[in-house]
Amino acid sequence: MVQSRDAERTRSELLEVATEVFSEQGYSGARVDEIAERTRTTKRMIYYYFGGKEGLFLAVLEAAYRRIRELEQSLHAGDLEPVDAIRRIAELTFDHHVNHPDFIRLVSVENIHRGRHMEKVESLRELGAPAASVLDEVLARGRASGELRADVDAVDVHMMISAYCVFQVANSATFGFLFGRDMLAPEVRERHRRILGDIVVGWLTAR
Amino acid sequence: MVQSRDAERTRSELLEVATEVFSEQGYSGARVDEIAERTRTTKRMIYYYFGGKEGLFLAVLEAAYRRIRELEQSLHAGDLEPVDAIRRIAELTFDHHVNHPDFIRLVSVENIHRGRHMEKVESLRELGAPAASVLDEVLARGRASGELRADVDAVDVHMMISAYCVFQVANSATFGFLFGRDMLAPEVRERHRRILGDIVVGWLTAR
DNA sequence: TGGCTAATGTACGAAACGGTACATACATTG
DNA sequence: CAATGTATGTACCGTTTCGTACATTAGCCA
């Protein structure tokens, strides 16, 4: 297999495939040989670029988390009235989760290992802040105008939204099985999306 | 190690330890040797009683899911007014999840493997029904009395409650890390518990 | 009490798996 | 165009890990 050299392509291809394999099989279940086989390069390159299996997983985790920034950047909450902004944030978060199932599954994998890996990646330490501060700003405006209740904080709201969105993706297999419901079906998704908006807005506008 | 024989004890001890190890390390991460070492018996017994690693995992999964029945049995929703019953169900579900983190983690593990294992256990097929029917009954009463809205179905309500409760346990590592919040702290738990009740009741009583 | 079966223990094998030593080819640059 | 470092490929090693063949013991029942 003679092939023109392209360090960047090799690196990113490994990351891409590794994201898939780790999210499908978990950390221990993922096989270094399998990841390599699914790319156009060899196992040797995993050790060359990432130092080993764990280094590769760390890189995958970091790249995945970094992609969340897209989310905060894509919503210009400041342009909207507080109530509309809240619904918008909820719906955008929902869409983001649905569109990045691999990421959500990686988070599950990392939680099973009690966050042992992510603690080693310093750059992930303050990745939560943006999401919280966007919500915080909206809550402050709503509080000032009297449209939103004053006794909840941004992180609690974010948690509620995350919980609902993560569940859609992370637990679709078991929940779908136990209740005979296809969580991936478009019309089901659409209803869940609307319900989430209703719940959050209802909660925050109650007095 | 001479020891009086007790098939039942050996079996249940294996199940107990395996539950712990699988929920801590995931399916592939769990080591058959480690499970055996943590018991007073040997690896041989895993193959004698469960046929192998996968058989053991299936047994663990089944035993864990079966324990949920406790939940439906412990709440006598019929005794309560619809609104109170809803809050009660939410809080009891919350408590149950918090008190059985191993079970929640097992569900996560199973979801990573896309429910591949549980599909093999026929007895798990209709385990969701009780939870849905309890809610269904309460919703019907509330609908009749006009206290609860009529446009949501039991499974959607159950999903919302489950999502919130599962997240507390399953994602405490990553969420806690990203937002510098100890999800296990009693006062945090207590607030989340109250918030869940408020949200669900608010949602279902809105018109 | 002697025999029979369920239950348990020991020791080992084969394959899977993460990792590495070593050889080599490409491309950039002086 | 030679030289040098980056990038890649191959073949292999040592360990771990699931699983099993075989031996043995405990206790029940005739």
Q: What is the pLDDT of residues A117-134, one digit of tens each?
A: 999 998 898 888 888 999
For residue A26 the two structure tokens come to 């978990």
pLDDT number for residue B75: 79
Q: How far is the alpha carbon of A163 from chain B, nearest alpha carbon, in Å?
A: 5
pLDDT number for residue A177: 95
Closest to B137 (Cα-Cα) out of B78, B76, B69: B78
Whether the predicted pLDDT of A3 surpasses 70: no
Nearest to A195 among B156, B158, B195 (CB): B156
Using a CB-CB distance cutoff of 8 angstroms, which residues of chain B are in contact with residue A176? 115
Residues near strand D (C-beta below 7 A) are A 1, 3, 5-7, 9-10, 40-45, 48; B 2, 4-5, 30-33, 43-44, 47, 52-54
Nearest to B160 among A29, A164, A206 (CB): A164
Q: What is the DSSP string of A129-191?
A: HHHHHHHHHHHHHHHHHTSS-SS--HHHHHHHHHHHHHHHHHTHHHHHHHHT--TT-HHHHHH
Q: Across the interface, do B159 and A175 touch by the CB < 8 Å criterion?
A: yes
Whether the predicted pLDDT of A84 surpasses 80: yes
Using a CB-CB distance cutoff of 8 angstroms, which residues of chain A are in contact with residue B115? 173-174, 176-177
Q: Give, in order, the Cα–Cα distances in Å from A153 to each of A98, A132, A143, B143, B180.
A: 25, 9, 11, 32, 14
Whether the predicted pLDDT of A146 surpasses 60: yes
pLDDT number for residue A79: 87
Mean pLDDT of A63-87: 86
Separation between Cα atoms, residue A76 and residue B136, nearest integer Å: 40
Do residues A142 and A86 touch, judged by C-beta distance below 8 A?
A: yes
For residue B126 the two structure tokens come to 């209709």
Using a CB-CB distance cutoff of 8 angstroms, which residues of chain B are in contact with residue A115? 173-174, 176-177
Q: What is the pLDDT of residues A182-192, one digit of tens each?
A: 999 999 999 99
Do residues B168 and B97 touch, judged by C-beta distance below 8 A?
A: yes
Q: Across the interface, do A173 and B110 touch by the CB < 8 Å criterion?
A: yes
Higher pLDDT, A69 or A107: A107
Q: Is B24 helix (H, G, I), strand (E, B) or coil?
A: helix
To the nearest whole percent, how much of chain A has pLDDT over 90? 84
Do residues B29 and A110 touch, judged by C-beta distance below 8 A?
A: no
pLDDT number for residue B2: 44
Sign of CA dihedral A94, A100, A102, A106: negative
Q: How far is the alpha carbon of A167 from chain B, nearest alpha carbon, in Å?
A: 5
Within B 39-68, residues with CB less than 7 Å from strand C: 40-45, 48
pLDDT number for residue A65: 87
Q: What is the pLDDT of residues A160-202, one digit of tens each?
A: 999 999 999 999 999 999 999 999 999 999 999 999 999 999 9
Buried-state track A14-36, b at ≥16 Cβ within 10 A, e below 16 = bbebbbbbbbbbbbbbbeeeebb
Separation between Cα atoms, residue A88 and residue A92, nearest integer Å: 6
Q: How far is CA A159 from the centre of its chain?
A: 13
* Cβ A1 to strand C below 7 Å: no
Q: Across the interface, do A202 and B202 touch by the CB < 8 Å criterion?
A: yes
Q: What is the DSSP string of A76-106?
A: -GGGS-HHHHHHHHHHHHHHHHHH-HHHHHH
Q: Across the interface, do B167 and A166 touch by the CB < 8 Å criterion?
A: yes
B11 CA, C10 C1': Å apart: 20
For residue B76 the two structure tokens come to 């006598």
Mean pLDDT of A101-130: 93
Do residues A65 and A124 touch, judged by C-beta distance below 8 A?
A: yes
* Cβ B162 to strand C below 7 Å: no
Separation between Cα atoms, residue A105 and residue B49, nearest integer Å: 32
pLDDT number for residue A74: 80
Q: What is the DSSP string of B62-93?
A: HHHHHTTHHHHHH--GGGS-HHHHHHHHHHHH
| Residue A207 one-letter amino acid | R
B70: number of Cβ within 10 Å? 10
| Full set of structural domains in chain B with CATH | 7-64 (1.10.10.60), 67-205 (1.10.357.10)
Mean pLDDT of A18-36: 98
Mean pLDDT of A73-89: 89
Rounded mean pLDDT for each run of 10 residues along chain B, 207 residues in total: 75 97 98 97 97 97 86 80 96 95 97 95 87 94 97 97 98 96 96 98 94
A66 CA, D4 C1': Å apart: 36
Q: What is the pLDDT of residues A47-56, one digit of tens each?
A: 999 999 999 9
From the number of C-beta atoms within 10 Å of its C-beta (0-12, 13-18, 19+), residue B151 rates as exposed
Name the residue in chain A with its Cα closest to that of B24: A112
Do residues B131 and B139 touch, judged by C-beta distance below 8 A?
A: no
Q: Across the interface, do A107 and B174 touch by the CB < 8 Å criterion?
A: yes
Rg (CA), chain A: 20
Nearest to B163 among A24, A109, A167 (CB): A167
B47 CA, D20 C1': Å apart: 9
pLDDT number for residue B1: 40
| Residue A202 one-letter amino acid | G
Separation between Cα atoms, residue A120 and residue A185, nearest integer Å: 38
B31 CA, D15 C1': Å apart: 14
pLDDT number for residue B6: 87
